[in-house]
Amino acid sequence: MRRLVCLISVGLTGLCPLVVNAEDYLKDGKLRERFELQLLQGGFANYTGTYYAIEPDGAWSTGPVDVKGQKGKAKTEGKLTTEQLDKLAQVFASNDLARLPPLVPSPLGGPKMTIVTYGFRNSKFSLEPNKTYPQNLKAIANRYAAIEQVVKDLCQEMK
C-alpha cells in the first residue's frame, strides 16, 4: 500500500511521467471521449480556420471555423475503421494527449493557433514564427504537430 501511495504522489507531482497506453484512449474499440482539433489562422478580425471532429465511434467531420469561433457545416465526413481508431489512440498515447499542456507564450499568441479538445479538456497552442524557443517548448510543439498530422492523414485517407 505504501508503494502505491508513493507512486501516486510521485506521478501527481510530475517527478516521473505516468505510463500511458493506447488502451487509455480506447474502450471496446471506440474512443473514450470525443476529440476535436481546430487549426486557426489569425487575421484582422479574429481567428478563422478548419476543424476536425472525431466522435467516439469513429465518425468524423471537417469544416470551417468562422471569425466568431463558430463551426460551419461539415464539408467532408467519414468514419474511421477500428484499425484507424487504434492508430489514432497510439498517437494520442505516445504524445500524452490527456496531459497536453496549453502553450501560448505571448499575450497575443502567434498568427496560427491550434486548439485540441478531448472530452472536456481543452489545450491551445500558438508560437510566434521565426522566434527561438527553448527545447522544452519545441518538444511540446512536436506533440501538437504529431497529433495534428495523424488526424489530417486519417481523415484525408477517407476522402
Kindly report, residue by residue over 44-60, the tens digit of the pLDDT: 778 899 999 999 999 99
Q: Once rounded to an integer, what is the mean pLDDT over residues 132-152?
A: 90
Cα 128 from Cα 88, distance rounded (Å): 28
Q: Which domain holds residue 36?
A: 20-157
Is residue 86 one of the residues assigned to a domain? yes
pTM for the model: 0.81
Has residue 15 been placed in a domain? no
Residue 74 CA to residue 2 CA, distance in Å, equals 52
Q: Does residue 9 form part of some domain?
A: no
Residue 10: inside a domain = no
Q: What is the pLDDT of residues 88-118, one digit of tens each?
A: 999 999 999 999 988 766 655 568 889 999 9
Domain count, the chain: 1
- Does some domain include residue 108? yes
